[in-house]
C-alpha cells in the first residue's frame, strides 16, 4: 500500500513537472510571447475553463436528477427546463464561442506596430530556407533561424520546395501549412525579446521530426544591426586552419550546393552558409552549433538525418575535417 | 496379401538398402576409387556428367534474355578480358593452350570450337556462375552483368575469327612493338604491366581506344592510384579490373598510375566543337546543375581545380560515363567515400540527363595540352546599340 502510494506520488510529480516544463519551455503555446499566440492561448483558456464549468454544471444537475429531493427532481423534469438546457443553452453557448473565434481570427489584419516586414520561408527536405529583404530591396538568404524585430508585425510568406510542410512557432503564432505551388502568409508579432523554438507540424517524410528552427526576437535597433551584418559577405578566415578549411571547401565541391557570399561558392541547393557560425543551431535545430557538430554533420549526416539531400562526405582526413569545421564555425 | 507377408517383404527390402548403403560407404572409405586426372571416366560416367551439365545450364539459363551484343567496343572489351582471363585455359586463334592446361580433367573447352554449341544466354550463365568440379570459376564481380555480356559478345564473334583479328581485338591495335631484349629488360615488368592496361585503355598511338572504358590520360596520379586500390581491395567491383589491380604490387600500381598521369597531350580527340541541342542541355547541367531537382553542377567537382581524387570528365567517353552513372543508380558504386558522394546524386538524374551529360563531356576536348599556349579569346561581339525612347 505504502509502496503504491509512493509510486503514484512519483508519477504525479513527474507528470506535473512535464506540464510545468512544457508551459515554461521555448516551444510552448501556453507561454505566449506574441500577440497572435496570446490570442490562441486566450482562446484555449476560455474554451478549457468554459468546458470545465459546463461539465461541472451538467454533472451537478445529473446528480441532482438521480439523488436529489423529490421536489427538485420534479422541477428538473419540467418541459421548460428541458428546452432551456437541451436547446437554448447549447445554441447560445456555441454561437457565442463561434463568434468569439471569428473575431479572434479576423483581428490579425489590423494590428498596431507600423509597417510590417516580410520574410520568405521555404520548406525544404528537411530544413527551412529563410529569405529577408532589407530596406534597399537586397535579398539576404539564411536558413533554419528567423530573426524578427520586437513590436513590429512580420509577414512570413510560406512556400514549399517539395511536399506539404507546416510552419509552427507556438510561442508566437498558430500554425500554417506550406503548400507546394501556393503562397500562404502568416503574420505574427513578438511582444518581447527572446528565443523561441518552432517545428514543422505536418508530416513531411522520414526526418520530419528533425525539421525545427529557432526564432530570435530582437529589439528593433539590434535587429537592424543584425540584418545589416547578415547582408555582408562572409568574413575572411581568421586563422591558418580556417584558411585551409576554406581551400578544402572550395576544392571538394561544397560550393556546388552551398553559397558563401564573398567566395566562389554560390550553390543554391542547400542552406546558405555565409554566416552559419552565428546561428543558434545546425541542421535545422538538430545539432548544437560548434566545430564538433560541423564535423559530425559533414561526415555522418545520413545517420543524423537519414535521407537528407546532402551526400556523406567521408573524403576528409581528421585534420582536414577539423579545418573545414573550423572554417565554417568561423563564419559568424 | 496377408499382413505377415507384407512385413517380411518390407524387412527384406530394408536389409538390401542398408547393405547397399554400407557397401557404398565402405567403397568410398577404402579409397579404391581413382580420382586421378590422368585416367579417363568410363564412357557412361562421362555421358552422365556431360548430360547433367548441359541440362543444368539449359534449365538455369532459361529466363535470361541477351541485350544487343553487336557493339564492336563490347566485343573488344570482352576480347581484352578474354585474352587475360580466359585464353590461358580456353585458348584463342593463334594462341594455343598451354600443355599444362591440356592435362586438366575435365579439359577446359576449346572455346573457338565449342562456343557455338551454347546460346548467348547459356554462355552468359556459365561465365557468370562458373561450373562446379571443373575448375571454371564464377565471375569475380557478381553484380556486373554488363561486363559478363561483353565476354559473351566476344565469344559469339570468336569462332569465325582469324589469328590477326584475334590479336587486334584481344591485345589491341597499339601493342608495344616487339623491341630488342635490352630495351625490354630496361623497361622490366613495367612494360608488361602497361601492356595489360593498353589492351583496353588509350595509348599514345591509339588515343581513341575503347569507348566503354575510361580514358585515363589527364587524370591525376592520386585518382588513378586510388581507383586501382579500390579495385584491388574490392571496394569498386569489376570482374575485369579487380583481377588486374589485385595482381599489382605497390610499386607497379604507382608506376601504372604515374604513366597515365604524366601523359597529358594525347587524347585530344574532339577537335571540331560539336554543338547540338543534346550537348547544350548537358552543358547547362554540368555548369549550373538543376537546383530544383537537387542536382549540383558536375563541374564543381569534376573540373581542373578540384581535389585530386575527383576524376576530370572533359573529353571522357560518353559510353563510359553513361555506364558508370547507371552503376551508381543501381547502388553498385557507393562503397568508397568518393563513390558515396556520387551515389547520393546519381539517382536524381533522369536517363535523358545522363545521356546529355555524357554527350557534353565527350564533346569537350581534353584541356591538358601543356605545350600549346591557350588560343586568344575571340573578339567581343559588337554591342547592339542601346535603343532609347
**B374 located within any domain:** no
Q: How confident is the model at residue B262 (pLDDT cuts 50, 70, 90)?
A: confident
Q: Tell me the Cα Rg of chain A.
A: 26
Q: Which residues of B touch A314 (CB under 8 A)?
A: 337, 340
Compare CB distances from A256 to B292, B300, B305 and report the shortest one's residue.
Answer: B300
User: In the structure grid, which three cell numbers stand for residue A132, read together?
Assistant: 529577408
> pLDDT 10s digit of each residue in chain A, 332 long?
455 556 666 666 666 665 555 556 889 999 999 988 998 898 899 989 999 999 999 999 999 999 999 999 999 989 999 899 889 999 999 999 888 888 877 765 556 667 889 999 999 999 999 999 988 889 999 999 999 999 999 999 999 999 999 999 999 999 999 999 999 999 999 999 999 999 999 999 999 999 999 999 999 999 999 999 999 999 999 999 999 999 999 999 999 999 999 999 999 999 999 999 999 999 999 999 999 999 999 999 999 999 999 999 999 999 999 999 999 999 99
Please tell me the distance from the alpha carbon of residue A23 to that of residue A112, in angstroms, as a whole number.
Answer: 27
- pLDDT: which is higher, B172 or B71: B71
User: Do B250 and B310 belong to one domain?
Assistant: no
> B93-104: per-residue pLDDT in tens?
988 888 899 899
Scan residues 271-290 of B and list those with Cβ closer than 8 Å to A: 289
Residue A75 contacts residue A61 (beta carbons within 8 Å): no
The Cα–Cα gap between A138 and B153 comes to 61
Q: Does residue B128 fall inside a structural domain?
A: yes
Grid coordinates representing B276?
547540338
- Among A230, A264, A288, the domain boundary falls at A230
- pLDDT for residue B178 is more than 90: no
Distance in Å, alpha carbon of B337 to nearest chain A alpha carbon: 5
A223, A128: one domain: yes
Alpha helices in chain B (DSSP H): 3-30, 43-60, 72-81, 87-90, 99-102, 111-114, 120-129, 145-157, 163-171, 181-187, 189-198, 221-232, 241-247, 250-262, 277-288, 318-329, 337-345, 351-363
* Contact call for B291 and A312, based on CB within 8 A: no
pLDDT value, residue A172: 94
Instruction: Say which CATH number the domain at B309 has.
Output: 1.10.760.10
Whether chain A has a CB inside 8 Å of the CB on B337: the answer is: yes
Chain A residues whose C-beta sits inside 8 Å of any chain B C-beta: 161, 248, 250-253, 255-257, 267-269, 309-315
- A235 belongs to a structural domain: no
Q: How many domains does chain B have?
A: 3
Helix (H, G, I), strand (E, B) or coil at B174: coil
Of B208, B236, B262, which residue sits at a domain end? B262
Looking at the structure, tell me whether residues A74 and A141 fall in a common domain.
Answer: no
A179, A198, A230 — which closes off a domain? A230
Q: Is B297 on the interface with A (CB under 8 A)?
A: yes
Contact check, Cβ <8 Å, A269/B309: no
Q: Which of A83, A107, A131 is the last residue of a domain?
A: A107
Is residue B14 assigned to a domain? no
Query: CA-CA distance, B102 to B110, in Å (whole number)?
Result: 10
Interface A:B, Cβ pairs < 8 A:
55
Range of the domain at B71: 49-171
Same domain flag for A274 and A199? no
B144, B171, B198 — which closes off a domain?
A: B171
**What is the rounded distance in angstroms from the CA atom of residue B281 to the CA atom of residue B297?**
12
Q: State how many domains chain A has.
A: 3
Residue A92 within a domain: yes
Check the CA dihedral A74-A79-A82-A88 and report its sign.
Answer: negative
**Positive or negative: CA dihedral B100, B101, B102, B104:** positive
Distance from CA of B255 to the nearest CA of A (A): 24
Contact A315 B307 (CB under 8 A): yes
Contact A267 B294 (CB under 8 A): no
The contacts of residue B109 (CB under 8 Å, 6+ apart) are B90, B115
Q: Taking CB atoms and an 8 Å limit, are A311 and B340 in contact across chains?
A: yes
Q: Is residue A219 domain-shared with residue A122, that is, in the same domain?
A: yes
B19 inside domain: no
Q: Which residues in chain B are contacts of A310 at CB distance < 8 A?
A: 344
Matching residue, cell 579545418: A323
Check which CATH number belongs to the domain holding B99 and give it.
1.10.760
CA distance A248 to B389: 51
Residue B347 banded pLDDT, cuts 50, 70, 90: very high
Mean pLDDT of chain B, nearest integer: 85
ipTM of the complex: 0.82
Full domain range(s) for residue A208: 117-230
Task: Choose among B292, B310, B337: nearest Cβ to A314.
Answer: B337
CATH of the domain at A301: 2.60.40.420
Q: How far is B315 from B337, CA to CA, in rounded Å?
A: 25
User: Which residue in chain B has the smallest CA separation from A315?
Assistant: B337
Q: Which of B130, B149, B171 is the last residue of a domain?
A: B171
In a domain, A150, yes or no: yes
pLDDT digits (tens, 9 = 90+) for B286-303: 999 999 999 999 999 998
Amino acid at each position: 500500500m505504502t509502496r503504491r502510494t509512493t509510486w503514484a506520488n512519483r508519477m504525479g510529480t513527474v507528470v506535473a513537472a512535464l506540464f510545468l516544463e512544457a508551459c515554461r519551455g521555448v516551444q510552448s503555446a501556453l507561454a505566449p510571447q506574441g500577440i497572435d499566440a496570446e490570442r490562441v492561448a486566450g482562446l484555449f483558456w476560455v474554451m478549457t475553463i468554459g468546458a470545465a464549468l459546463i461539465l461541472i454544471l451538467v454533472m451537478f444537475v445529473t446528480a441532482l436528477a438521480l439523488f436529489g429531493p423529490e421536489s427538485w427532481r420534479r422541477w428538473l423534469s419540467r418541459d421548460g427546463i428541458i428546452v432551456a438546457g437541451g436547446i437554448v443553452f447549447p445554441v447560445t453557448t456555441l454561437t457565442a464561442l463561434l463568434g468569439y473565434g471569428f473575431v479572434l481570427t479576423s483581428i490579425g489584419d489590423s494590428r498596431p506596430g507600423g509597417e510590417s516586414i516580410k520574410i520568405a520561408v521555404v520548406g525544404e527536405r528537411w530544413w527551412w530556407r529563410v529569405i529577408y529583404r532589407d530596406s534597399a530591396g537586397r535579398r539576404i538568404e539564411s536558413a533554419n533561424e528567423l530573426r524578427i524585430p520586437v513590436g513590429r508585425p512580420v509577414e512570413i510568406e510560406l512556400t514549399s520546395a517539395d511536399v506539404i510542410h507546416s510552419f509552427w512557432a507556438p510561442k508566437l503564432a498558430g500554425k500554417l501549412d506550406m503548400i507546394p505551388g501556393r503562397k500562404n502568409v502568416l503574420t505574427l508579432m513578438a511582444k518581447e525579446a527572446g528565443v523561441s523554438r518552432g517545428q514543422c507540424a505536418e508530416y513531411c517524410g522520414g526526418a520530419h521530426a528533425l525539421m525545427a528552427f529557432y526564432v530570435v526576437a530582437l529589439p528593433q535597433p539590434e535587429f537592424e544591426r543584425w540584418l545589416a551584418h547578415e547582408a555582408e559577405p562572409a568574413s575572411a578566415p581568421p586563422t591558418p586552419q580556417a584558411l585551409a578549411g576554406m581551400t578544402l571547401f572550395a576544392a571538394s565541391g561544397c560550393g556546388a550546393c552551398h553559397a558563401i557570399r564573398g567566395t566562389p561558392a554560390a550553390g543554391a541547393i542547400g542552406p546558405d552558409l555565409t554566416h552559419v557560425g552565428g546561428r543558434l543551431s545546425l541542421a535545422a535545430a538538430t545539432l548544437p552549433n560548434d566545430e564538433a557538430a560541423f564535423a559530425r554533420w559533414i561526415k555522418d549526416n545520413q545517420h543524423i538525418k537519414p535521407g537528407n539531400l546532402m551526400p556523406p562526405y567521408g573524403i576528409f582526413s581528421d585534420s582536414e575535417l577539423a579545418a573545414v569545421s573550423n572554417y565554417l564555425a568561423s563564419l559568424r | 496379401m496377408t499382413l505377415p507377408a507384407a512385413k517380411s517383404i518390407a524387412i527384406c527390402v530394408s536389409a538390401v538398402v542398408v547393405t547397399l548403403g554400407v557397401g557404398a560407404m565402405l567403397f568410398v572409405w577404402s579409397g579404391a576409387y581413382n580420382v586421378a586426372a590422368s585416367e579417363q571416366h568410363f564412357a557412361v560416367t562421362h555421358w552422365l556428367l556431360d548430360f547433367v551439365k548441359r541440362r543444368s545450364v539449359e534449365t538455369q539459363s532459361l529466363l535470361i534474355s541477351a541485350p544487343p551484343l553487336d557493339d564492336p567496343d563490347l566485343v573488344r572489351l570482352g576480347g581484352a578480358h578474354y585474352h587475360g582471363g580466359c585464353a590461358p585455359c580456353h585458348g584463342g586463334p593463334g594462341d594455343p593452350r598451354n600443355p599444362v592446361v591440356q592435362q586438366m580433367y575435365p579439359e577446359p573447352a576449346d572455346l573457338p570450337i565449342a562456343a557455338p554449341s551454347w546460346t548467348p544466354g547459356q554462355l552468359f550463365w556459365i561465365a557468370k556462375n562458373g561450373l562446379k568440379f571443373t575448375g571454371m570459376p564464377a565471375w569475380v564481380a557478381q553484380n556486373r552483368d554488363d561486363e559478363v555480356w561483353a565476354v559473351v559478345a566476344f565469344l559469339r564473334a570468336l569462332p569465325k575469327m582469324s589469328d590477326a583479328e584475334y590479336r587486334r581485338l584481344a591485345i589491341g591495335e597499339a601493342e608495344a612493338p616487339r623491341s630488342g631484349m635490352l630495351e625490354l629488360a630496361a623497361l622490366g615488368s613495367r612494360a608488361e604491366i602497361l601492356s595489360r592496361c593498353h589492351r583496353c585503355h588509350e595509348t599514345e598511338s591509339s588515343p581513341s581506344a575503347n569507348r566503354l572504358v575510361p580514358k585515363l590520360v589527364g587524370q591525376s596520379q592520386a585518382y588513378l592510384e586510388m581507383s586501382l586500390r579500390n579495385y584491388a581491395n574490392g571496394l569498386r567491383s569489376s570482374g575485369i579490373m579487380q583481377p588486374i589491380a589485385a595482381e599489382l604490387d605497390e610499386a607497379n600500381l604507382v608506376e601504372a598510375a604515374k604513366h597515365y598521369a604524366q601523359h597529358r597531350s594525347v587524347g585530344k580527340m574532339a577537335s571540331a566543337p560539336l554543338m547540338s541541342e543534346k550537348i547544350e542541355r548537358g552543358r547547362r547541367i554540368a555548369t549550373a546543375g538543376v537546383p530544383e531537382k537537387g542536382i549540383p553542377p558536375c563541374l564543381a567537382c569534376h573540373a581542373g581545380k578540384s581535389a585530386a581524387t575527383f576524376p576530370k570528365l572533359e573529353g571522357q567517353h560518353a559510353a563510359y560515363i553513361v555506364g558508370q552513372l547507371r552503376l551508381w543508380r543501381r547502388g553498385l558504386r557507393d562503397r568508397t567515400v568518393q563513390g558515396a558522394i556520387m551515389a547520393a546524386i546519381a539517382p536524381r538524374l533522369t536517363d535523358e540527363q545522363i545521356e546529355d551529360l555524357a554527350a557534353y563531356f565527350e564533346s569537350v576536348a581534353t584541356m591538358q595540352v601543356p605545350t600549346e599556349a591557350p588560343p586568344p579569346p575571340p573578339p567581343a561581339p559588337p554591342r547592339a546599340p542601346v535603343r532609347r525612347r
